[in-house]
Structure 1
Amino acid sequence: MGGRQDDVTATSGLQIPLIRSLDPPRKPSRNRFSSLCAIMASMSSVLLGYDIGVMSGAAIYIQQDFEISDVQVEILVGIINLYATIGAAAAGRTSDWIGRRYTMVLSAGFFFVGAILMGFAPNYPLLMSGRFVAGIGIGYASLIASVYTAEVSPASSRGSLSSFPEFFLNVGILLGYVSNYAFSKFPLQLGWRFMLGIGLFPSLFLAAIVIFVMPESPRWLVMQGRLGEAKQVLNTTSDSIGESLQRLADIKKVVGIPASCDDDVVEVPKQSTHGGGVWKELFLHPTPAVRHVLITAVGVHFFLEATGMNAVVLYSPRIFEKAGIASSDHKLLATVAVGVTKTVFILVATVLFDRVGRRPLILTSVGGMIISLVTLGIGLTIIERSHEEGTWVVGLCVGMVLADVAFFSMGMGPMGFVSSEIFPLKLRAQGVSVGMVVNNAVGSVVSMTFLSLYHAITIGGAFLLYAGVATVGWVFFYVVFPETRGRNLEEVEGLFGNLLWKFSTKKDDNTDVENS
């Protein structure tokens, strides 16, 4: 007994540390600086959101001022997405060339010039030229916000942080709606100019914070061989030093830098990070994993726009008018409610992306949209055929518009930005640009055809058509979309290539990771 007591006494100094070491590890606290960087980068989405929101109301007054047709209104409203396609196509190469930060500054500069041109446009052609310049900036901003946020975020919070661009896009839409309402009392020729011209202030603010506050993406720095700077950024944006070292090792491995290399500056072959080789790996000789990634990303962006959200956001005053709301003030206030709903429900996605996961959220989101769109289409058809106003159907239609944007914002909308995480590092910028090109091209088709579509098949028929597209989208996501929650960016690629592509040859499978 005495010996045992002596043993306890002798080891008593070690007992507390030993017991504490057996406690379950505490989850590291979220890195605040990475959250700040994600917020600042995501603010570039305010530019796109503001343009979408403000044009929904400004188009009404522009049509009266310039006496243009519905077709010209469709072109004016929707062509921004077509112009943004040009910016998105160029943004991938540009961000690999000059870096993520300065690409954001470039996008803000384009939008600044575009806002001035639109605000002072004396006629329709010059207004369209302002739309062109602003559209290029929006294309740049839509790509770089998602790429930068994904690359700067730690794995523990990448899902929620990557949804921030969608949140700020919705903030921009809401600001645009508020601007419509605020300036609607101004004289006709002055009100819409203020609505459009005031957009220069967000672009100035964005350029200032990017230049003076934000660091460069650590993954871009490693691709340039600037390891010393990359280490500093990773140390400040990771949840722990251990995670910072692991992230650096993973990036070095993908770029092709030896793990033992610890120099601050090293030589990296430029052809391995951007240029023609990237396009060959994406389109000409993709591995099964890259092919699966590309199809998934293109599908996300296609269904994000093809389900008609641009029509709801851009033409909400007309939709509410068709639903039986006659007062201009009431239509604009209902439109503001759309903006508020979109902004509030994106916060749901921000909280749940890293808790529930990407796959459950997007399936729930698209499923809810299908129900909302079908009900809205039926309700609008009833109103159009019965010519009754002030009935329960009006309230149902307004409620379904809000439900549609709510379900969209809690999964489908932010997934367009979160999907940047699925591309391998050296393919990411230009891969995301492919997705954004699809996004903007489909968005421009939806925006530029909605008025003609509902004249051709009725407004109820248009939303039933969007519901059909959403149904196809739900099946697509169920089949091809894997869960990526909690994975480092360098690990995500391993989840692809094993769902639809099991028929691929063994030779392709053996070279999967090496080639991508």
Structure 2
Amino acid sequence: MAHTVATAEPLLALPQKADKPRWNTYAFSCATLASMTTILMGYNLALMSGAQLFIREDLGLSDAQIEVLAGSINVYMLVSILAAGWAADVLGRRGTLVLANAFLMAGALAMSLGGSYATLMAARFVTSIGSGFSVVVTSVYNAEISPASMRGLLSSFLDMFISIGLLLSYVSNYAFAGLPVYLGWRVMYAAGVLPPVFLAVGVLAMPESPRWLAMCERYAEAHAVLVRTSDTAAEADLRLKEIKQAVDATQASDGGSVWKELLIRPSASVRRILICVVGIHFFQQASGIDAIVLYSPLVFKKAGMSSNSAILSATVVVGVFKTCFVLVATLFSDRLGRRPLLLASTAGVAVTMTSLGITLSVGTKSTASVAASISSVLAFMAAFSIGFGPLAGTYSAEIMPLRLRAQGASLGNAVNRLTCGLVSMTFISLADWITVPGCFFLYAGVAAAACVFVYARLPETKGRSLEDMDELFAN
């Protein structure tokens, strides 16, 4: 049965004006350590973009096999994403991140040694377990470790570090492209074997989430973490009191399962939250980001580029643009708010996808058409990265009630990866059916619908405590 607990007045007063966010070095360090695991997720997801050029030649794979191999990791991730909420509650946020690094190391090693389509598919499955755990648990941990004044900044680290991994994968594609065909793509994946070891050690150096500690009734430890991650000692006391109230409310409930409350009998406020979480994750991926991330070499070939070296160098520039513009959301989401950035981002994605479709529709290829296509891709990356990319995870993690947060984050990310898998595993086939420009016109329409969804359904969350979200969505 659904939990029917009255919402208490927020203990932390909402800010009356947009003050400059305070700086908490300890919370910043914790979020950084947690987020670094997602570098490997970004690296493994995007590495196929350039590696597929050489895998196709080395192993003789068909277009259909490449399409499935590139996108399968997103579908595989559904298993670990849906299990991540349970694992995060049982093992703790920190323990689950250590486990994620172990799977990421094993997956990278298996990919580098793979000698057939079947072994590569199996290796992608191993990698997907680590990727799914890392993306869910990092978003939950960063939201829970952050003071309200820095939550937008620290929660956006997830996409920033994924973008760094994406950039490193493009650099790896370019750096090792000159090696023999049978060796180059294997070295690209082998480069991801050792980093998880060091990242796991870093994860062990950070504290557990105060909210998980409170769920385990380890209140003294939770308070110690809150003292170091709050702006003042008084705020730490108030945050702990709010967390205790949320935990007590959960324990005083009828004991119905979390999944039942989420999916079968949600309260009105939970239903509104769920629509926001599922909607923002669906639209983020359905607007075509992975068509660019994974298939930008094919897009650039369609635009008129022929040299592999030139194509891979162009993808590096795409990665640089994405990483740089994520910083806009990282620096300004706590000042400007989530809604303005999401509205600007979704509108920008719609415009730039339309522009890309138009430039690729030009019959005669020339230097100008190539430049226009590359410019459209870069503008798309900029628009996506100022809001849609980093803030989808931030927003969905912070609006979920404590009792539902881990499983709610799993559900949102499951929708995200399923949609991503649908886009990445159908792009080549869809392009054969409606043409490459037609694909981007379709994605532009989805982005326009996303802009309307953000305007109509997503309230501003800037400055509110996590325990105050029930009240926000109850009205």
- Asked whether 1:478 is paired with 2:455, we answer yes
Q: Which of these residues, 394, 398, 411, is aligned with residue 434 of structure 1?
A: 411
TM-score in terms of structure 1 length: 0.86
- Shift of residue 204 of structure 1? 1.4
Q: Which of these residues, 391, 399, 423, is aligned with residue 415 of structure 1?
A: 391
Alignment of 1:60-459 (within 5 A): 60-211=53-204, 213-256=205-248, 269=251, 277-382=257-362, 386-390=363-367, 392-419=368-395, 420-459=397-436
- Shift of residue 366 of structure 1? 0.4
- Shift of residue 326 of structure 1? 1.2
Distance in 2, matches of 1:122 and 1:375, equals: 40
Write the letter of the residue equivalent to 1:461.
G
Write out per-residue CA displacement over residues 160-217 of structure 1, whole angstroms, 9 at most, x where no aligned residue: 1100010000000000001111111111111100111211223112211011x11000
- Indicate the residue corresponding to 2:439 in structure 1: 462
**Secondary structure, counterpart of 2:39 in structure 1:** helix
Distance in 1, matches of 2:175 and 2:329, equals: 30
- Asked whether 1:33 is paired with 2:26, we answer yes
Note if contact 2:361-2:437 (Cα within 8 Å) is conserved in structure 1.
yes
Write out per-residue CA displacement over residues 127-158 of structure 1, whole angstroms, 9 at most, x where no aligned residue: 11110100111011110110000000000010
Distance in 2, matches of 1:406 and 1:28, equals: 24
**Secondary structure, counterpart of 2:96 in structure 1:** helix
Write out per-residue CA displacement over residues 48-76 of structure 1, whole angstroms, 9 at most, x where no aligned residue: 11012211001110000110110000000
Distance in 2, matches of 1:362 and 1:45, equals: 22
Q: Which moved more, 1:197-206 or 1:417-426?
A: 197-206
- Shift of residue 497 of structure 1? 3.7
Distance of aligned partners of 1:180 and 1:276 in 2 relative to their CA distance in 1, 3 Å threshold: farther
**Secondary structure, counterpart of 2:194 in structure 1:** helix
Distance in 2, matches of 1:29 and 1:42, equals: 20
Note if contact 1:112-1:200 (Cα within 8 Å) is conserved in structure 2.
yes
Distance of aligned partners of 1:276 and 1:48 in 2 relative to their CA distance in 1, 3 Å threshold: farther
- Shift of residue 28 of structure 1? 7.8
Sequence identity percentage = 49
- Shift of residue 482 of structure 1? 0.3
- Indicate the residue corresponding to 1:14 in structure 2: none
Distance in 2, matches of 1:247 and 1:230, equals: 10
Distance in 1, matches of 2:417 and 2:281, equals: 9
Q: Which has the higher contact order (CA 8 A, sep 6+)?
A: 2
Note if contact 1:46-1:202 (Cα within 8 Å) is conserved in structure 2.
no
Write the letter of the residue equivalent to 1:147.
V
Note if contact 1:121-1:127 (Cα within 8 Å) is conserved in structure 2.
yes
Note if contact 2:21-2:149 (Cα within 8 Å) is conserved in structure 1.
no
Distance in 2, matches of 1:300 and 1:205, equals: 33
- RMSD value, Cα: 1.6
Distance in 1, matches of 2:444 and 2:243, equals: 41
**Secondary structure, counterpart of 2:334 in structure 1:** coil
Which ranges in structure 1 are unaligned for 5 or more consecutive residues? Answer: 1-23, 258-267, 499-516
Alignment of 1:10-21 (within 5 A): none
Note if contact 1:359-1:482 (Cα within 8 Å) is conserved in structure 2.
yes
Write the letter of the residue equivalent to 1:396.
A
Q: Tell me which structure has the larger Cα radius of gyration.
A: 1
- Shift of residue 381 of structure 1? 1.0
Note if contact 2:21-2:335 (Cα within 8 Å) is conserved in structure 1.
no
Write the letter of the residue equivalent to 1:440.
R
Write the letter of the residue equivalent to 1:199.
G
- Indicate the residue corresponding to 2:11 in structure 1: none
Write out per-residue CA displacement over residues 242-290 of structure 1, whole angstroms, 9 at most, x where no aligned residue: 1101100100011118xxxxxxxxxx95x969x8621121112111110
- Shift of residue 393 of structure 1? 2.3
Distance in 2, matches of 1:77 and 1:222, equals: 40
- Shift of residue 82 of structure 1? 0.6
Note if contact 1:300-1:415 (Cα within 8 Å) is conserved in structure 2.
no
Write out per-residue CA displacement over residues 209-246 of structure 1, whole angstroms, 9 at most, x where no aligned residue: 011x1100000000000001101110111111011011
TM-score in terms of structure 2 length: 0.94
- Shift of residue 122 of structure 1? 1.6
Write the letter of the residue equivalent to 2:125.
F
